[in-house]
Amino acid sequence: MGGSPSIPSPPPPPDPNDAARANELFYKSSLETYIQKQPGIAALEQSLREKYSPRQRELERQMSSLDLQKSAQAGLQVERELGPQRSLETMRRQFEMSPNAFATQQGLGQQAALQFARLYGQSPMGAVQPGVQQSQGVGQVDYLSGLPTTRSS
């Protein structure tokens, strides 16, 4: 396989036995180097673990508590926005499903109100604070105001 003057001929193929010996030498020297340096690497890993693991655990605890706080706040906000609508929807469904049971519940509520009035001398609505008695709706709530902020470097 000769080449022309501008293209040199390719080198001969490597001897498989020489390649196998070279690979074996490289593998052995790599293993020896690893075994030789392994105690130093283990000590370095341990020192890094001791240095950074407590901080990592602390950050994980903070993140999980913030996640719990966020989910609780989201649930509260949904309940605050949709609570009255849900209770009205429940009453409407109850009336549609069983008007007799709805009427019974209404009657029991009126009877309880009369008993309260007889017992305490005032209507049940009078015993409730005016702000609770007639809600003016939900005011604007900022759920993020109490959360710590993260500053980007």
Q: 3-class secondary structure for 49-74?
A: HHHHHHHHHHHHHHHHHHHHHHHHHH
Look over the chain and give the mean of its residue pLDDT values, rounded to a whole number.
84
| Distance (Å, whole) CA 128 – CA 124 | 7
The pLDDT score that the predictor gives to residue 25 is 94
pLDDT tens digits along 90-145: 888 888 888 888 888 888 888 998 999 999 888 888 887 777 777 666 677 777 77
The pLDDT score that the predictor gives to residue 53 is 85
| Distance (Å, whole) CA 142 – CA 38 | 55
| pLDDT tops 60 at residue 83 | yes
- Quickly count: other Cβ atoms within 10 Å of residue 134's Cβ: 8
Residues whose CB is less than 8 angstroms from the CB of residue 112 and which lie 6 or more positions away in sequence, other chains included: 124
